[in-house]
Amino acid sequence: MLTTFGLSSLSLLSSSCSISSSFVGLWIQPGLLDSITINNTLFSLKGTCLNGQHDVKYKYIYYNEQTRCKRCIFFIPRHLNALQYRESECFDADDDNSRICASITPDTVLYTLFRDNAESIPCPLDQSWYFKKSRRLSSLCQPKAFHNCFSINTFQISYNNQCRSNTDEIATCFAQFSDGNMNYIISRSLNQQRFICFSYTKTKIDEKSSLPNEVYLSEDETCRGLLTRESALLLNVRSNKHYESNVQMPDWTQGIWLSTGIDRIKTNSFHINQSQLTMNIQDNQIISHNLKFLRIVQRHEKTIRIRAKSLDQCSPIFYCIKLIYRSSAVVDLSIGFDKHQCQENHIHYTLYKPLEKSNSSCPHIGVYKSLNTYRSSLPFSACSTGIWTLSIGCQPINPSELSLASSCRHELVPDVQVITSIKGICLASWRTDRRFQRTMVLYDKSKAFCLIQTLRSMTTSFIASASSCTNIEIPPINVENSLRYSDSCHESSRFLSISASSSSSIGSVQRVFYLLFYLAMKLLIYM
């Protein structure tokens, strides 16, 4: 009786223990409604900390005045965000502390606390984990796979069709610890805020492979079942060979490629290597897509079809990619969803490499001219309308060069003629039907346009700056807006040869304002 009185007065004096700072905070114990506070004076529901046990680290004596219970709590620190403990039975206040603590054995129930508002940590998946169907459990709801997500701190669990709520779950990882060769992960689902715990092993031989051997999933939120294998759900991991890449891409596909952007000014970039296609598409911002190659579906000398997957969301989305060789500097790329045996593609790009020299000759040599009302889709001219002259292959030294020049009246000073000229090189020229010849022309070092010429009459050319030169909707040829054959090369107009000789480097834009100078001189004379 006296001792009990003594204890109460001790707690009134607000006794205090020195608890590891990593235990202090607000915690969640699944199954309890209220969160739990642990600090140097108290542990919610357990009472006031009377003292620590000197012989054993992390064992503390708590006294709860309401229930008149003295308990020993044994903490097992696991991670900044996960704390486990075992507790003794309720003892009388005058029972001996070391006897109380000795009553905790490895069989005593282990509770797990999760830090409230924990910061997330990376999940251990760098690829998807697919689980074998367990015959014994196939009529039960169980996970089919864990998929790694775009954000490394989340993963997605997909379930078999036996589950009542047939939806996949995305979970955030927030604690990780290991015990022997067993690794434990604690996560929380985004939607239901449900704790999901699993453990896994990796054998030493398999250390390089990032797949685990076995995965144990806790059947409830308390994660208690995890610590005894019998009470957790065993998931056998399937080899990913079926899903992973074993692709040998031909040399002609590889490297860094460009394509004309949607707005015709910016360029998109593409990187193809043995394992993946990375696209950086310039819209208002740069959007990156990463497609990992899985398997070559079809391979001919100049065409290749590949099955690929992207992890833009958590679970993979499968795509079909088709690449067609046009020259060592040009390929056609088509991408579609993996449906209908890869027969339909939805996105098309003609990719080019900004080479300084080309060994593809330009087709249909000659000089082509437009009417005065010609509107170009190319962004390089100062004129919105005017006469355009295209001179193809007129320099005998270099049959892969062409030049394109525009001449128009200055909008403010009508007497002034503005002449703009660019030199381009033909990177590749090909036909996909009997009507048109398509040529990819590089100008201004890294920009490109597509030149489309009619085959039958060989009289008209027009210029397109779409992202694909092959899959482009060709309108009926508009005479108003095309360049028509006017001369063979020898009679090419004088200003073209002037501008051609004045621009030394391939692809540079020359703006010749020679009349402007003349006008300025005239003004000076009058003043």
Ligand X SMILES: *[C@@H]1O[C@H](CO)[C@@H](O)[C@H](O)[C@H]1NC(C)=O
Query: Which residues would be at the binding site for ligand X (CB under 6 A)?
Result: 37, 39-42, 271, 273-276, 278, 327-328, 359
Nearest CB to ligand X, comparing residues 328 and 395: 328
Nearest CB to ligand X, comparing residues 278 and 315: 278
Residue 358 Cβ vs ligand X, minimum distance, rounded to whole Å: 8
User: Could you tell me which of 88, 79, 129, 125 has the C-alpha nearest to residue 107?
Assistant: 88
Nearest CB to ligand X, comparing residues 47 and 124: 47
Residue 14 Cβ vs ligand X, minimum distance, rounded to whole Å: 8
Residue 290 Cβ vs ligand X, minimum distance, rounded to whole Å: 8
**3-state secondary structure (DSSP) of residue 80:** coil
Query: How far apart are alpha carbons 395 and 399 in whole angstroms?
Result: 6
Residue 274 Cβ vs ligand X, minimum distance, rounded to whole Å: 4
Q: How many CB atoms lie within 10 A of CB 138?
A: 10
Cα 451 off chain centre by: 34
CB 329 within 8 Å of CB 352: yes
Residue 249 Cβ vs ligand X, minimum distance, rounded to whole Å: 9
Q: How many CB atoms lie within 10 A of CB 299?
A: 12
Query: How far apart are alpha carbons 311 and 320 in whole angstroms?
Result: 14
Nearest CB to ligand X, comparing residues 287 and 479: 287
Query: How far apart are alpha carbons 442 and 94 in whole angstroms?
Result: 92
CB 433 within 8 Å of CB 454: no
Residue 511 Cβ vs ligand X, minimum distance, rounded to whole Å: 32
CB 394 within 8 Å of CB 491: no
Nearest CB to ligand X, comparing residues 228 and 280: 280
What six digits make up the tokens of 94?
């005058």
Residue 41 Cβ vs ligand X, minimum distance, rounded to whole Å: 4
167-170 long-range contacts, CB within 8 A, separation 24+: 168/314, 168/315, 169/194, 169/196, 170/314
Nearest CB to ligand X, comparing residues 335 and 512: 335
Nearest CB to ligand X, comparing residues 42 and 125: 42
Strand pairing category for 317-327 and 214-217: unpaired
Return the DSSP state at 119: P
Nearest CB to ligand X, comparing residues 17 and 102: 17
What six digits make up the tokens of 5?
């009185």
Q: Which residues contact 498 (CB under 8 A, 6 or more apart)?
A: 512
Residue 33 Cβ vs ligand X, minimum distance, rounded to whole Å: 17
